[in-house]
Every structure is written in structure tokens, then in C-alpha cells.
Amino acid sequence: MINRLLKEYIPSKYYLKYLEDNNINFSDFETAAILSNIIRNPFELNGVLKTLSENSDDKKLIKQIHNKIDNDNRLYNLFKDNCNNEAIYIVKTIEDNEEDLYGYFFDYQNAYDKALESNNEFIIEKQKVQSKDNVEKSISYVYKNPYFFNDATIEEYVEDDYIDELGYIKYDTKGSIRYFYVKDSIKKDKSEKELLLKVYDPDYFENAFIHLPNPFAYGDIVRDVTTEEKGIIECDKNKYEEFNEKVKNGFYADSFDAGTTVCYLRKDGRFVHNHPLVLVLEKYEPDKSDDDYEILKCSSAITKQECSLDYFTEVYEKYRNNHKGEEK
């Protein structure tokens, strides 16, 4: 039986039914990795992972979950702490993918409350306050994945400007966190190689590559249930499974490699390549009355080599001409 948490959080009911119909189950470790790729709010995720750990016998996973929760709470409190007014919070609202400056604050809660009044998505940045007599350039760190590079190191990178960003959090219109980053000090109690091996460790659930069985065939028309985008599957099932076999045999892959390949149809008629997880997709049959019926059906057919290039070009050009000037 599929874990009830996956039943609750897997976006595509089509994909969930596919798992249930084929009696496909996942371990607690795999469930934790999948949930980490679905739930965007890190603190909502931590609550769900805590529930998972309370019903799991996987001691290694339980420890990893507890460490993640403790570290996220530590970083969040670090972001909110500005008791000496050594930093300033910069609020930017987001509307139509455009960021607008909304205000400056010394207190995090004031910044959050004010941003919430905008009824828009927003970002709160935290930047170090520097006096004109003591200006320091910001230092960032570039990590090289030791599973890909033999000369993996942690390199210091001095920014060109003098803005020392200490972190930022992105929120939705209701003030729920969608993403957060907090600059943290690097502990030098281990060698750089040991630190990097830990950062990218595929045995840690947030990094792990989890094979998600693929019900979609090359050329299928699909819809992303999280974005409503429609597109064409561009990944052959056999190649999808071949990649999984490579990972089983020791090839390094992480959670970013777990997606399939879809060419999404944009409003202006372009097709854009992306790598969604199969668990956000469903098979889609466009209605004959839909504006995109002909272009989707024709694109599926040309992918499967079931129509001529001439016919596809004719349909594609007509669709693009009819949508000139529309937003991308």
C-alpha cells in the first residue's frame, strides 16, 4: 500500500492511480526523497517528514530528518535575529514576474507584516549594514561536486559589489514560505573533500535519486497539474529505464536527474524543453474545440513520426501567427 503521505501530496491523480493499479510502493527513505521534491514550503515539509519519521523504523532516515529540522529552524532563527541592527531587511513584492521595491526595515516581523499587506508574492532579503568607513566586499562560496570533479574544492568568491547578502526568503500571497536561503558559516572541522562529500551525499534523502516508474510514452500529450501547462513527452521509456539501470550500477545522479523530458507549449506558440517529475503529469486529450487542439495533436504525431514535416510546419506556423504578441 502506498504511504498515505504520498497519497495526500502526489499532485497527479493520474499518476497516483498508475502506482496503485500496478501495486508500486516506496520505502520510507524513498518517500522522504519524493516528498522533498513535491512540498515547496520547507517548514510544511519538515512537519510532514516529522510525521513520517514517527511511523518509520529506518533509524538512519529518522536521524537525517531530525538533523534537517534542527538545521532549518536554526537558520530561520538566524535570519530573523537582528537584535543589534547589524542588518536591514529589504522587502520586494512580485507581480507578473516583476519585482518592485516595497520598503526597508530593521525588524523582520515588521517587514513581514508590511509585505503581507501588499496581497502579492514577496521576497524579504537580509543584507549587512556597512559604514562608509568600514566597507567589506561580500564573500560567497563555490562548491564543486566531488562525485563529478576529482579536484573538488570549496572556493571563496569575492563579489564585485559591496552588498553582503545574509539570506532571503520568498513567500506566496498568503505569507507562506516557498523558498529560503540563509548564508551560513563553513565549519572547518573537516577537510574540504569531507565537507563536500557530505553536502552532495546521495545517501542523504534530499540528494537521493529516486526512480519514479514512467507511465508515459514518447510523443504522449500531457498536462502538468501544478501549472496547467500542456506539452509533448520527449523521453523514450527505454532510455528512461536505461538511465535508472546506470544509477543502480553506480552512476552518480541526484534528485534533479529524476525527471522526464517534456516540450511545453507556450502561449506565443513556442515549445520549451523542461524536466518535470512524472508525478506532476497526467495524460491529456485536447478537446476539438480547444484553440491548441490541432497544434498539440500534430506535435504528438510528428514526434511519433505519424505525420509529415510539411503538415507540421503548416500547423505550427498558423498557430504562431494566430498568437503573435501574446505573453510567453
Q: Which of 133-137, 167-171, 192-196 reaches the highest mean pLDDT? A: 167-171
Please tell me whether residues 130 and 179 are part of one structural domain: yes
The verdict on residue 144 lying in a domain is yes
The verdict on residue 280 lying in a domain is yes
Please tell me whether residues 218 and 327 are part of one structural domain: yes
Q: What is the C-alpha separation between 95 and 100, in angstroms, rounded?
A: 8
Please tell me whether residues 134 and 186 are part of one structural domain: yes
Mean confidence (pLDDT) of the chain: 86
E strand or H helix that includes residue 61:
helix 59-80
Tell me the pLDDT tens digit for each residue of 189-200.
555 556 666 777
Please tell me whether residues 169 and 230 are part of one structural domain: no
Tell me the pLDDT tens digit for each residue of 59-112.
999 999 999 999 999 999 999 999 788 899 999 999 888 899 999 999 999 999
The verdict on residue 205 lying in a domain is no
Please tell me whether residues 16 and 49 are part of one structural domain: yes
Please tell me whether residues 8 and 60 are part of one structural domain: yes
Please tell me whether residues 313 and 289 are part of one structural domain: yes
Q: Tell me which residue of 197, 203, 184 sits closest to 152, measured CA to CA.
A: 197
Of residues 181 and 165, which shows the higher confidence score? 181
Which phi and psi (to 5°) does residue 169 adopt? -130, 135
Q: Tell me which residue of 85, 17, 16, 8 sits closest to 44, measured CA to CA.
A: 8
In total, how many domains does the chain have? Answer: 3
> By three-state DSSP, how is residue 247 classified?
helix
Q: Using 50, 70 and 90 to split pLDDT, how confident is the model at 239?
A: confident
Residue 281: CATH number of its domain: 2.30.30
Domain containing residue 316: 214-328
* Cβ(192)–Cβ(153) below 8 Å: yes
Percentage of the chain with pLDDT > 70? 82
Please tell me whether residues 218 and 325 are part of one structural domain: yes
Per DSSP, what are the bridge partners of residue 146? none
Out of 166, 199, 232, a domain closes at 199
Mean pLDDT of 300-328: 87
Q: Using 50, 70 and 90 to split pLDDT, how confident is the model at 185?
A: low
Tell me the pLDDT tens digit for each residue of 252-285.
776 666 678 999 999 888 899 998 999 999 999 9
* Cβ(244)–Cβ(211) below 8 Å: yes
Q: What is the C-alpha separation between 326 and 316, in angstroms, rounded?
A: 15
Q: How many CB atoms lie within 10 A of CB 62?
A: 18
Please tell me whether residues 261 and 308 are part of one structural domain: yes
Q: What is the C-alpha separation between 181 and 175, in angstroms, rounded?
A: 16
* Cβ(252)–Cβ(148) below 8 Å: yes
Of residues 42 and 257, which shows the higher confidence score? 42
Please tell me whether residues 158 and 103 are part of one structural domain: yes
Q: What is the C-alpha separation between 12 and 261, in angstroms, rounded?
A: 17
Please tell me whether residues 228 and 325 are part of one structural domain: yes
The verdict on residue 206 lying in a domain is no
Please tell me whether residues 226 and 312 are part of one structural domain: yes
Q: Which of 81-90, 109-118, 146-155, 184-193 reaches the highest mean pLDDT? A: 109-118
E strand or H helix that includes residue 104:
strand 98-105
Q: What is the pLDDT of residue 251?
A: 80
The verdict on residue 114 lying in a domain is yes
Nine cell digits for residue 326: 501574446
The verdict on residue 314 lying in a domain is yes
Q: Using 50, 70 and 90 to split pLDDT, how confident is the model at 312?
A: very high
Q: Which of 127-131, 167-171, 192-196 reaches the highest mean pLDDT? A: 167-171
The verdict on residue 313 lying in a domain is yes
Out of 172, 199, 226, a domain closes at 199
Out of 25, 47, 80, a domain closes at 80
The verdict on residue 59 lying in a domain is yes
Q: How many CB atoms lie within 10 A of CB 1?
A: 7
